[in-house]
Amino acid sequence: MNIIETQKHPLKFYATLAFGFLFLFALGSFMIFIGLDNESNEQAESKHIIMPIFGSLVCLLAIWMVYSYWKNSPKITIDKNNLKIGNGTFRLSSIKDVILTGKMPFRFIINFPMEGMAILFKDGRDKILFDDMYANSYEVKSFLEQVIINKQEFKINTPKKVNSSEFRFENTEVFKGNQLTSLRGISLWGLIGFFTILFIGKETSMKLGGVIFFSLFGTFWFILHSWLMHYFELTKNFLIIRNHIFIWKMKVYSFSDIKEVVFETQGKQPNCIRVITNDFRNKLYPAGTLRDKTWLEMKKRLETKGVKVRNECIFE
């Protein structure tokens, strides 16, 4: 009887893979089309050959992306005695050690760090698995911690939901920046201001298609930059995560339920906080308005409250 069987994450795996493939393949096809179209013009032969070559490489990159994602996200099945990863089956007794949190090298064109876990076997082999590839990777981690590390019987532990009345009268330390002077805030409100002037300008007339395009793009821009602007509050017993724009949204973690907090950054994103709970669920909260000084001050305060902080992006 299967205890755990992983499912790929609908957004972080399927949606990311679909968007990346379609974008790269469309870009590559466009470059090939432009290059072939230029053949009819009176240009040097080397010039109209380069574009189709680069376009073909971009299309191959799109295919390689699909291959890399599937290769790095094998299906995992765990029963009482065995761990099956892809086509390989391993006895649980053959596991030597498990590294449950930390950045692991995700192999694409180059290796780039992604939150995951490493399983080390007694015969010297190892398997690296990545959190974002699966919707329920936390179940695998919880099982391995309880059964392999702690030598206990596996049971699902779910953190208790925190009621707002539990911290209503506690003193609060706030760690936030000014959204109007931050890069994300300027990008958000500057573009919205530009669109507003464009629409209400007396000399400007825009067709329906243009209005629809700018409305959709503006909505996407607003939601994206709002998601990038979280800030944080600490009380005696809780970490509270809020948002500059969506002021009604609030996520509360009890310090006793937090296994680890990670300060990290991904690509062009601002600095983020990743909260990993004791059951290995984790969530990322970008915070584009906080300065490095504020991040480091929050790190000190979290550590005084007994929270482990892994700082991967801010120089101390």
Among 38, 64, 63, residue whose Cα is nearest residue 51: 38
**Which residues of the chain register pLDDT less than 70?**
1-2, 37-48, 198-211
Using alpha carbons, list the distances in angstroms from residue 177 to 112, 213, 224, 272: 29, 32, 18, 14
Q: What's the rounded Cα separation, in Å, for the pair 193 and 294?
A: 29
Q: What's the rounded Cα separation, in Å, for the pair 139 and 41?
A: 60
pLDDT score for 159: 74
pLDDT score for 160: 77
pLDDT score for 203: 52
Number of CB atoms found within 10 A of residue 313's CB: 14
Q: Are 78 and 48 within 8 A, CB to CB?
A: no
Q: Which residue has the tokens 């205890």?
A: 3
Residues with Cβ within 8 Å of 302's Cβ and at least 6 positions away in sequence, in order, are 234, 239, 261, 309
Report the phi/psi class of residue 132: left, alpha or beta, with left for phi > 0 and alpha for psi in -120 to 50. Answer: alpha
Residues of the chain with CATH 2.30.29.30: 164-178+229-311
pLDDT score for 13: 94
What does the DSSP 8-state code read for residue 166? Answer: G
Architecture of domain 164-178+229-311: Roll (2.30)
Q: What's the rounded Cα separation, in Å, for the pair 295 and 314?
A: 8
pLDDT tens digit sequence for 153-190: 888 877 778 777 777 778 899 999 888 888 888 888 88
Whole-structure pTM value? 0.84
Name beta bridge partners: 98.
119
Q: How far is CA 278 from the centre of its chain?
A: 19
